[in-house]
Amino acid sequence: MHPPFFYQIFNKFLNSYSSNVSNTNGPKTTFTLKEFVFRVHLVEILHLQMRSILYVILLVIFQSCASQAKPILIDSEMETNVKENLAYYLYYPEDYEEEPEKDFPLLLFLHGGGESGDSLVTVKRNGPPKLIVQGKKFPFLILAPQNPNAKKWWNTRAVKQLLDSIVDNNRIDKRRIYLTGLSRGGGAAWELAVQYPDTFAAMAVVCGMTPLPYASWINRDMPIWVFHGEKDKSIPFSESETMVAKLKEMGYEVIFTRYPNVGHSAWIKAYETEALYDWFMNQELK
């Protein structure tokens, strides 16, 4: 029992007692100590009950307010900037300067995971850049960027931005832009074909992971040449085999070159195939 409250009850009792005792118009009232304690105890019980009732009322009010709170769905927007620093090689055919009025085809080459990083010279290890170092001449420009992330996929949006910049600042025939890639770069080539179906006139992919569920997004009029080694333990041969079967089933024009006794290095034979480059030169965006 809190002293302040008890004293209040006691004072009220004394006042009542004094009033009753001094009342000359009626009989005098007296209280025993037992009656006094009982009355104080009764008042305290009533006080506790009122506190309990007040608590319940407040709890109900709080729960009622809480139950009225609802989830909020807002709409907004934010402009994002995806930045990637892409180093690259750009090869010009020998007659590019000799024919200033002519627009030339361009081949976009995407290397594999082993050439990723910050040493651009590694891009010359495989594919068309390697052949250029060895003295081979091509009839088209070749754009060979480097993926700066050794343990990440190609940023295909950044690659497309680079390609657009090269096309806008050089004499490029926009209806004769070709695409090729090996291994991780082969997977990126497939991805670019899915994301930008109206950009490329033809595509050659060497042992790349495939976007099978999105095969139908690829331009149905774009010829495709796929290379893969049957002994590939890095990217299973079935990746290309299943993708080619799906594309042919949907009516795509696909050439499939399979190497029975070749592992993941199918790109060596693939890019030494002279007919590949003649095939590219015969294609135009439809």
Give the H/E segment covering residue 175: strand 172-182
Query: If pLDDT is split at 50, 70 and 90, which confidence band does 79 have?
Result: confident
pLDDT of residue 115: 97
CA–CA gap between residue 83 and residue 123 (Å, rounded): 21
Average pLDDT (98-124) is 97
Instruction: Give this prediction's pTM.
Output: 0.75
Closest residue by Cα to residue 176 from 137, 229, 218, 139: 139
Question: What are the pLDDT digits (tens) for 206-256?
Answer: 999 999 999 999 999 999 999 999 999 999 999 999 999 999 999 999 999
CA–CA gap between residue 100 and residue 139 (Å, rounded): 15
CATH 3.40.50.1820 fits 88-281, yes or no: yes
Identify whether the C-beta of residue 185 lies closer than 8 Å to the C-beta of residue 154.
Answer: yes
What are the residues whose beta carbons fall under 8 Å from the beta carbon of 255, sequence distance 6 or more?
223, 224, 225, 226, 279
Query: If pLDDT is split at 50, 70 and 90, which confidence band does 160 have?
Result: very high
Domain coordinates in residue numbering, the chain? 3-67, 88-281
Q: Is the backbone of residue 207 left (phi > 0), alpha (psi -120 to 50) or beta?
A: left
pLDDT of residue 49: 64
Q: Which of 8-12, 44-48, 182-186, 231-235 has the lowest mean pLDDT?
A: 8-12
Cα torsion 257, 263, 264, 269: sign:
negative
CA–CA gap between residue 92 and residue 132 (Å, rounded): 11
The percent of residues in the chain predicted with pLDDT above 90, rounded, is 70
